[in-house]
Amino acid sequence: MPKPEIHPKWYPEAKVICNGEVVMTTGSTQPELHVDVWSGNHPFFTGTQKILDTEGRVDRFMKKYGMGSADESDKDNTSK
């Protein structure tokens, strides 16, 4: 048995709320948990994640190792 009066109240059916909608229940010391992101709407888990190449790293890699398209390799050969 836990010691009396030192442990917080336990809610075995605490509601997890995201965007005003109950998405799941879990055990917690709070009766309601308000979250912004959960696995049901996070892009990594839903498969809608997009890779952003803002600094051109992928293009530089492709050029460095000759993996670019045929058009790019023709441009490189004509400029030499």
Domains of the chain: 1-49 (4.10.80.400), 51-80 (no CATH)
d(CA 11, CA 23): 16
CA atoms of 23 and 36, how far apart (whole Å): 11
The yes-or-no verdict on residue 71 having pLDDT over 60 is no
**C-alpha Rg value of the chain to the nearest Å:** 26
What band does 73 get if pLDDT is binned at 50, 70 and 90? very low
pTM for this prediction: 0.50
C-alpha dihedral over 34, 40, 41, 42, to 10 degrees?
A: 100
| pLDDT number for residue 61 | 82
Q: What is the pLDDT of residues 2-53, one digit of tens each?
A: 688 898 999 999 999 988 889 899 999 999 999 888 878 777 777 776 766 6
Helix (H, G, I), strand (E, B) or coil at 57: helix
Element (H, E) at 75: helix 70-78
Name the token pair of 31: 């009766």
Identify the residue with better confidence: 4 or 75.
4
Q: How confident is the model at residue 11, as a pLDDT?
A: 96
